[in-house]
Amino acid sequence: MEHSTVQDPSSSAPQVPGPTLEFAPLHGEISSPAYSNVFKGIAVVLMALASMWAWQMQQGTGPLTADNTVFWIWAPWGLMAYTVWFVVTGTTTLTASAIEQRWMWSKRVELRNLAYAKVIRVPGFEWLFAPRLYSKTFGGKLVIFYAAAPEMLDELKRLENSLNALRQQR
């Protein structure tokens, strides 16, 4: 039996014919920090330690000193601070129509375009290894969403199970 794909005019990704995913979070739209407070704390502490080390190097009291290296000392620290800012402020939102994450670059996947989803977590170590949802669109694009709140992880697991049930129907 041959299946043809239908192009959705609002998306360049092909849509699969047959049953469609009907999913909504139990209590409506849900948002969660992307990373746990402990993970955020570790990131901030590492950034603070790196800034103290960079300051020592700039003052000529650290283990690696050289003249005219201010840029090469503070540029990597600036990139680290930029990343830590998004670790601290990043949020993931799940609605009945899409999942999105505000981070360095915003990510969004429409649920109707979701071909695969898998929640990956290390139980008991969510504080260190950020739980995530691996997702793949019908167009083959891989998008990873991070989430820290247990309620969000439960909803993402429900989404994974709903999608698996739908795939079995096809």
Note the pLDDT tens digit of each residue in 40-77.
Answer: 999 999 999 999 988 887 777 655 555 557 777 888 99
**Whole-prediction pTM value?**
0.79
pLDDT at position 58, please?
77
pLDDT at position 155, please?
94
* Cβ neighbourhood burial of 119 (10 Å; 0-12, 13-18, 19+): buried
* 48: nearest Cα among 6, 56, 99, 89: 56
pLDDT at position 86, please?
95
Fold of 19-34+92-169: PH-domain like (2.30.29)
Can you list the residues of the chain whose pLDDT is less than 70? 1-18, 61-68, 170
pLDDT at position 2, please?
41
Q: Which residues have a Cβ under 8 Å from the Cβ of 34 and sit 6 or more positions away?
A: 87, 90, 91, 92, 101, 103, 130, 145, 146, 147, 148
Encoding tokens for residue 37?
A: 């407070």
pLDDT at position 56, please?
82
Cα–Cα separations (whole angstroms), residue 15 to 10, 32, 98, 113: 11, 29, 16, 7
